[in-house]
Amino acid sequence: MIPVQGFEGQNVAVLGLGRSGLAAARALVAGDAVPVCWDDSPEARERAMAEGFAVRELTRAGAFDDIASLVVSPGIAHLYPAPNPVISAAWAAGVPVDNDIGMFFRSLALSDWDQYDVLPRVVAVTGSNGKSTTSALIHHILSESGRESQLAGNIGRGVLDIDPPGEAGVVVLELSSYQTDLARSLTPDVAVFTNLSPDHLDRHAGLGGYFAAKRRLFAEGGPDRAVIGVDEAEGQYMANQLSEGPGDDRVIRISSGQKLGGPGWDVFARKGFLSEWRKGRQVASVDLRGIKGLPGAHNHQNACAAFAVCRALGMGPKQIEAALHSFSGLPHRSQIVAEAGGVSYVNDSKATNVDSAVKALLAFDNIRWICGGLQKDGGLDGLAPGLGNVRKAYVIGREAAGFALGLGGTEAEICTTMQVAVAHAMAEAEPGDVVLLAPATASFDQYDNFEQRGNDFMARVREGLGLSQEVSTES
């Protein structure tokens, strides 16, 4: 646990008592502060009280009179589409509002760091797509190489729940826009921006607000090194803003699909090969084509980001390459479920928007595509580049008919349920086909989350193949 510093003997309010909220309350106690907790859910409040935490209705008059700060869980809106009433009350009382990420950065450095020859480092990864895989891949490479590493944030453990890092240890954080938008302290040693595509637009009042939330990771604290995906204009803009000139190697530009050049530091992937260039010369190359855990151009971009981070942390190319080959991927992200009769079954339930789904479609040929669910803003036009790889779509969800109409000339069958979609796709699949779940939508019309949707897909596949029904519940 990371004890929260700076609030000794003071009351600190905690809004939202899920994983991050309860971890924040425990870390406040460890730092000799007094958490005062609230959640709209009676069950959540009961869990907090069972741990001995004080509970207080934070919208009542005078609730913030003795409060030094408010810590807000990431799922709670603080500005758009409307501020939560508790946050408005904190503003009115002049109480600073923060989240667990901000508390983490202000509290990480401990007195025993004075004894270290090599200080711990923090790597923070954000972006629209690929940040989970990139974060896990960095953690995997470090761990495989024998270096102390912990994975936390939007993946793995809560940031305040990790162990204090030891000498030369690395903390790898995946950070969503919800987390970067509110944190009052953001000071990673290495920060990564993977890419940008429209998502969470209601929470950020549009694409500009969404990008601004991501950009805070780089603008607030100024990382020693910034790894920036430059395949979109926003990444090009940010790389330019952070750089003092063409040869400034504090910015490492990454790309999938285009060759980068110039006197700076670049890592890019083309036709399945990763290349590292510094000062106008190639210094390393990795063949990514045979790495099953990283299929497709989007995962090659993730590999470029992880490679760049580990190089910035002082690792050698061969050491990184060896670890890439042992990476098996993450559950629900281009996850190979089974291979039978010449047919591959791939679970990419995390493809919850059009941009991530089209990347999955471009990663495979001869696709029997299971898609559909609760559509997000923006329509389905962005799927067009990947539809040429689709032999047939099997559409699920309450909006299945409307989704099928949006696929143009692609053959589509309205299946509605996962059970029907998997059964029909398996029955029609031929050797060389890939049965792919990449929904391009949210899951909430039929499932609690994308993990549950992916687990249902895997269970149906294994049932159809007569395999064990043990399904991973990792997320």
Tokens at residue 172, please?
Answer: 């790898």
Q: How many CB atoms lie within 10 A of CB 472?
A: 15
CB 317 within 8 A of CB 311: yes
Q: How far apart are CA 455 and CA 408, in angstroms?
A: 29
Residues 6+ apart with CB under 8 A from 169: 120, 121, 147, 148, 149, 150
Type of residue found at 47: R
Please state the separation of Cα 209 from the chain's center in Å: 18
Q: Could you report how far apart the first and last alpha carbons of the chain are, in Å?
A: 21
318 is in an annotated binding site: no
Residue 11 marked ligand-binding: no
Q: What is the DSSP string of 112-165?
A: GGGG-SS--EEEEEE-SSSHHHHHHHHHHHHHHTT--EEEEESSSB-GGGSPPP
Beta partners for residue 395, in sequence order: 371, 414
Distance separating alpha carbons of residues 33 and 16, to the nearest angstrom:
18
- The reply, when asked if residue 9 is annotated as ligand binding, is no
Q: Which secondary structure element, helix H or strand E, spans residue 35, and what is its range? A: strand 34-38
What Cα–Cα distance (Å) separates residue 209 from each residue in 125, 182, 377?
18, 12, 15
- DSSP state string for 199-239: -SHHHHTSHHHHHHHHHHHHHSS--SEEEEE-SSHHHHHHH
In whole angstroms, give the CA distance from residue 291 to residue 453: 26
Q: Report the C-alpha gap between 210 and 234 in whole angstroms.
A: 11
- Tell me: is residue 128 an annotated ligand-binding position: yes
DSSP 411-444: -EEEEESHHHHHHHHHHH--TT-EEEE--SSBST
Backbone angles phi, psi at 404, to 5 degrees: -60, -40
Per-residue b or e along 183-196, where b marks 16 or more CB atoms closer than 10 Å to that residue's CB: beebbbbbbbbbbb
Is 59 known to sit in a ligand binding site?
no
Q: List, as residue ranges, the binding site for ATP.
A: 127-133
Q: List, as residue ranges, the binding site.
A: 127-133
